[in-house]
Amino acid sequence: MDTALLAKTAAAMVAKGKGILAADESSGTCEKRFQTVKVECTEENRRAYRQLLFGTPGIEQYLSGVILFDETARQKASDGSLFPQYLAKKGIIPGIKVDKGTVDIPFTRGEKVTEGLDGLSKRMEEYFKLGCRFAKWRAVITIGEGIPTHTCLYANAHVLARYAAACQAASIVPMIEPEVLLDGDHSIERCEEVTEQTLRATYAAIAAYNVVPEFLILKTSMVVSGKNNPRQAGVDEVAERTIRVLKRTVPAAQPGIVFLSGGQSDEAATAHLSAMAATKNLPWPLTFSYSRALQNPALNAWRGQASNVAAAQKAFYHRAHMNSLAAQGKWRPELEKQAA
């Protein structure tokens, strides 16, 4: 374990005004997104789309890192180098999604646990050689009648901790993502309760497996109302409840926290982040690790047409800029109107 490298990587991931692009969609997820703009989901189209994003002029001002899918980490950029090397040359840290997706937990109401621990240490060695310096593992927690159960929270917490230990042993910074899903009609109060339970279980397991918090990044969902709940909490309430949970559960020694957008609208994800980042005297920096909330405008502008690349890159650059301001607590709605 190269502690100097781990410390350097973790600090750079949460550098002021920068966030992380989640571009680690599987081929299946990519196909669903491409279908919305009627683009065929071929390997070359996926490569071209990632090139569009990564090659956006000046994007390194706002991105500290990019999470790659295995396929993308092995594809070549426009200059002939592999994407991890291409990103590194721009000063953007390459990361890699290493989990293998979710399966049902027996004897639960369809709750999930994430697979991928088998052979993980060897895969970590290979990803390190490819140039990846951080990794991501996602767990999903669903709120519903009688769930999440202790079984679900315990199973996912221990898998996250074992993954994080394997990362640090390979000198790769682990990003843990225990996502409490937005789906459902639950209240924001219930979301806060479950988010706290999830993070408490996760950090208990992190400690049990001797994972070093100084070399760990949390990617977390925000405390929000379920998307089908008639009372949608406002920006200030989301910020207040989310910060309260994080202060109760996340070690101050951790270098930073990044948020997932989790199905929120582009602007809502930006507004919530800005309100939280403006909070005084936080023990860690807060920033973004968005997928759809960064990519949606670019994908809609691109639509698979080479002639649309410049417009798509402009849209992507704008969203990254807005979220950079949000990570500093400086975003305002009128900035969106000015750009429009």
63 in helix, strand or coil?
strand
Question: Among the options 97, 112, 136, 219, which is catalytic?
Answer: 219
**pLDDT(172) > 80:** yes
H or E, element range at 208:
helix 188-208
- Please give the distance of CA 94 from its chain centroid, rounded to a whole number: 13
> Does residue 340 register a pLDDT over 90?
no
Q: What is the pLDDT of residues 248-274, one digit of tens each?
A: 999 999 999 999 999 899 999 999 999
Pick from 193, 180, 185, 190: nearest CA to 244: 193
Q: Tens digit of pLDDT for each residue in 186-229?
A: 999 999 999 999 999 999 999 999 999 999 999 999 999 999 99
Confidence at residue 337, expressed as pLDDT on a 0 to 100 scale: 77
Strand, coil or helix: what is 232?
Answer: coil
In the chain, pLDDT over 70 holds for what percent of residues?
A: 99
Catalytic member of 177, 179, 192, 196: 177
% of residues, the chain, pLDDT over 90: 97
pTM confidence score: 0.96
pLDDT at 303 over 80: yes
Tokens of 153: 């929270």
Contact 162, 139 (CB under 8 A): no
219 is catalytic: yes
Provide the 8-state DSSP code for 142. -
Q: Does the pLDDT value for residue 297 go beyond 90?
A: yes
CA 113 to chain centre: 18
pLDDT digits (tens, 9 = 90+) for 148-160: 999 999 999 999 9
Mean per-residue pLDDT over the chain, rounded? 96
Q: Within 13 Å of residue 228, how many CA atoms lie on the same side as its CB?
A: 7
CATH no. of 3-261+271-339: 3.20.20.70
Q: What is the pLDDT of residues 72-82, one digit of tens each?
A: 999 999 999 99
What's the average model confidence in pLDDT over 101-111?
96
280 has catalytic annotation: no
DSSP annotation string for 149-177 = -HHHHHHHHHHHHHHHHHHHHTT-EEEEE
Quote the pLDDT of residue 338.
62
Q: pLDDT value at position 339? A: 59
Among 251, 249, 184, 191, CA closest to 221 = 191
